[in-house]
Amino acid sequence: MSAVEMPGVLMRVYNLLETYGRLIDEDNLEAWVDLFVEDGHYEIVSRENVEQNLPLSLILCDSKNMIRDRVMSLREANIYNLHRDCHLIGLIRIESEMPLVGSAPYSLFQSTIEGDSRLFSVGRYNFELVEHEGRLAFRKLTVVVDTGAIPTLLATPI
Amino acid sequence: MSAVEMPGVLMRVYNLLETYGRLIDEDNLEAWVDLFVEDGHYEIVSRENVEQNLPLSLILCDSKNMIRDRVMSLREANIYNLHRDCHLIGLIRIESEMPLVGSAPYSLFQSTIEGDSRLFSVGRYNFELVEHEGRLAFRKLTVVVDTGAIPTLLATPI
Amino acid sequence: MSAVEMPGVLMRVYNLLETYGRLIDEDNLEAWVDLFVEDGHYEIVSRENVEQNLPLSLILCDSKNMIRDRVMSLREANIYNLHRDCHLIGLIRIESEMPLVGSAPYSLFQSTIEGDSRLFSVGRYNFELVEHEGRLAFRKLTVVVDTGAIPTLLATPI
């Protein structure tokens, strides 16, 4: 990767990750889905399983349609699970530019409607991005969570 | 917004927000006041009220003098409320350049003098900035807090 | 500091701090040691002691060999202290370019193997960097912790 072009790529990834976290925080999950390409892959795995090379996922959507379906079912279920998200995404690593692969740590806080905030999950986003209609989009996002015990049935995206 | 100029603006906003968080963390509130222009507006509102379009604020200062007064009264009261702040400010969004409007999520941790740290508040900074004496300054900062129950009388800025 | 060169320096510091946090999070402490120069200095001090000008450190390594020794003894002890780290590093301040001095706030979360995550430490990195073999490296890193009660014998780097 050339030192000169690095900031340009980093800036574009920065903007995509900013959008990613904000759309979830704004509960605009329908727009969040559009950050993925049609054959996009969204997966949540525990760090324990990654380190032991276990193929188990907490959540696995291997197409944009599956991601969209998940959001639609959340819309029906979420009446039982009201909360507000706040994503803090850390320093971004660009591992390669072709393909565009990298990662960033995150912390996710949830607040109840009553205003109690707590740490919900920490971990790392591992992403592979592609150009799509003049902007970057997720070809693959694997969320490796350090925090276990995610209620996967009702969970909003991390 | 041109793609070429974007990094320059983002960098300047980055530096302003960095200064904002650090000055509070250093308890240098007098210098923090100077990040606002004379008719600057500083407001803390709950996300619940924002979403319901309620005009209620937890804290509302609609001039730099009011912000300064608040800091002065904190200086008298703070002997009862000793703590240390640590701001983690997330990825920054630039919504428009003219006027310069954007937002960023934050998490704020507080530690007692004895060294117990806890999550104090999460939410989002919504800002409008202007050029002022060769640098950026806050024309308006609205802190939308996800976390309720802020003791507003004794609270330092978020 | 010239406004034009600032982003270049900031970007290099950004990449170094990104690597710093990630290598600890990946438990790749041997590579983490190599971010320091031979006469590198790594110190953890409490904010209370800094403010009172007390010379006490929680941890003090004043050469790369001492840092390396510490990692080696952690490797022997860590069987009793299994956890996973997640570093969120905040907005970076460049104070001067010659010497290259600056700081950044951090929050560090730890998760047990069972998946319970908690806030472990918040504070600020104060760094002095030098060019070393074509890249930036730590000449000095002082971690000023707001959070007390660090178990210093078994603690991994912050």
Cα–Cα distance measured from residue C112 to residue C91, given in angstroms and rounded to the nearest whole number: 27
How large is the average pLDDT for residues B135-145? 97
Best C4, C19, C109 member to test A by mutation, with max A CBs in 10 Å, is C109
Q: What is the pLDDT of residue C157?
A: 92
CB nearest C88 (choices: A103, A107, A146): A107
Give the list of residues 6+ apart from residue A98 with CB closer than 8 angstroms, or none.
none
Q: Write down the residue that tokens 């803390």 correspond to.
A: B44
| B119 contacts C119 by C-beta, under 8 angstroms | yes
Burial (0-12, 13-18, 19+ Cβ within 10 Å), C71:
middle
Beta pairing partners, A107: A88, A122
Cα–Cα distance measured from residue C63 to residue C72, given in angstroms and rounded to the nearest whole number: 14
How large is the average pLDDT for residues A139-156? 82
CB nearest B115 (choices: C7, C46, C91): C46
How large is the average pLDDT for residues A98-109? 97
A148: nearest CA partner in chain C: C115
Q: CA angle C156-C116-C42, nearest 5°?
A: 15
For residue A78, give the DSSP letter.
G
Q: What is the pLDDT of residue B153?
A: 59
Please give the residue that has the higher pLDDT: either C147 or B91: B91
How large is the average pLDDT for residues A103-120? 94
pTM: predicted TM-score of the whole model, two decimal places:
0.93
pLDDT over 70 (residue C17):
yes
Chain A neighbors of B105, CB-CB under 8 A: 21-22, 25, 86-88
Q: What is the pLDDT of residue B76?
A: 83
| B112 contacts C146 by C-beta, under 8 angstroms | no
Please give the residue that has the higher pLDDT: either A48 or A107: A107
B121 to chain C nearest CA, in Å? 14
Please give the residue that has the higher pLDDT: either B1 or A28: A28
C-beta pairs of C96-102 under 8 Å, 24+ apart in sequence: C96/C1, C97/C1, C97/C5, C97/C9, C99/C128, C99/C129, C99/C130, C99/C139, C100/C9, C100/C13, C100/C128, C100/C129, C100/C130, C100/C136, C101/C126, C101/C127, C101/C128, C101/C129, C102/C13, C102/C126, C102/C127, C102/C129
Confidence tier at C78 by pLDDT (50, 70, 90): low
Q: Taking CB atoms and an 8 Å limit, are B107 and A88 in contact across chains? A: yes
Chain C neighbors of B113, CB-CB under 8 A: 48
Chain B neighbors of A120, CB-CB under 8 A: none
Q: What is the pLDDT of residue A5?
A: 42
Chain B neighbors of C88, CB-CB under 8 A: 88
Q: What is the pLDDT of residue B155?
A: 77
Q: What is the pLDDT of residue A114?
A: 83
